[in-house]
Amino acid sequence: MGVNQITANALVQQLGGQLRGDDVLITNITSLRQANRNDISFLSNPRLRTEAQASRAGVLIVTEKSAEILTGRTLIVTDDPYLYFARVTRLFHPRGRPKAGIHPSASIAATAQIAPNCEIGAHVVIGERTIIKDNTRILAGTVIEEDCTIGQDCFIHANVTIYHGCQLGDRVELHSGCVIGADGFGMAWDKPNNQWFKIAQTGAVVLGNDVEIGANTTIDRGAIENTVIEDDAKIDNQVMIGHNGKIGAHVAIVACTGIAGSTEVGAYSVIGGAAMIGGHLNIPPQTTIGAATAVSHSIKESGHYASIFPLQKHNDWVKNAVHIRHLHEMNQKIKKLELQLAKLTSHLTDSQE
């Protein structure tokens, strides 16, 4: 159970930071605009200082620099207000604990092993030889096929599908509709029969500890080796990760991204929404890929990469698009002009001598 209310002083004693001002009773967490005298909010973006000054929040979480202009307010001063605010949200809204037991409508294979303190919801299906470890919650309609291992303290929301042989570490959270371990898109062209021949996908998916997978995201099983998502990777909704891929530890991938098979994304990288990354590529650690960026070749040096045009009026975009279509032709003309200019300059120099 989370707290219903807490004083600012008690909050600081529990989470750290420095309290300045009155010891306000906090009963709710909300935005700067909606906050009232018993609410707590935060300021992490300096551009919102004017909004923070106008806010009626009883307590504001701020940096030392912001505290200098927010005089006469109750403040909690910390190096990282956003992280502090995140911890406050967990204090008020902690992760639910399992209600131990198996719903009568669940279908559990005889050889499955389920820890007695797990929660198994209505119409859950668990296959042969699958192991579910301590304190894990599996909500209604989820299907976990045979030979899977689900670690401790996992939270699998309703209507998740985990194919055979997949492995989840501890404290993994899978949101509704995600599919772990479907077949990778592996085909060989059968010329004599004029059709595709499907390659058996014999690998699995391995999720490390503290991985979170968003709603309706799909992670394909490996063709031969496993598809691996390392510890603390966070993957948003509607992301697709192809077979044999490797997502490094602490990587964050935003919604609607597609990563083709056998691509490796290094640790601590951030992939923006709707980015498209080709197959058999390497993204080095601590790399940021901007939203809607197309990555068609491996990146050799860590950094921030993007390949999209800024927003502009449609008429301007049409005019610029016309020129983009002729870039190669324009480049050839510029090279010819540069060559002519070089010859002319050389001729003038010779004549002056």
b/e for 318-341, b at 16 or more Cβ within 10 A?
eeeeeeeeeeeeeeeeeeeeeeee
Other Cβ atoms within 10 Å of 154 Cβ, number: 25
Q: Which bin fits 147, alpha (ψ -120 to 50), beta or left (φ > 0)?
A: left
- 188 contact partners, CB below 8 Å, separation of at least 6: 196, 197, 199
Beta-strand relationship, 288-289 and 304-305: parallel
Tell me if residue 269 falls in helix, strand or coil.
Answer: coil
Tell me if residue 316 falls in helix, strand or coil.
Answer: helix
What residue type is assigned to position 67 of the chain? A
- R_g of the chain, CA atoms, integer Å: 28
**Residue positions annotated with a catalytic role:** 243
User: Is residue 146 packed enough to be buried (19+ CB in 10 Å), middle (13-18) or exposed (0-12)?
Assistant: middle
Q: Which of 23, 85, 94 is nearest to 52 (CA)?
A: 85
Token duo for residue 316: 């301007």
- 315 contact partners, CB below 8 Å, separation of at least 6: none
Chain centroid to CA 327: how far? 36
φ and ψ at residue 228, rounded to 5 degrees: -125, 130
Quote the DSSP letter at residue 184: P
Token duo for residue 199: 């390659």
- CA distance from start to end of the chain: 91
Q: Which of 67, 52, 58 is nearest to 17 (CA)?
A: 67
CA distance 62 to 79: 8
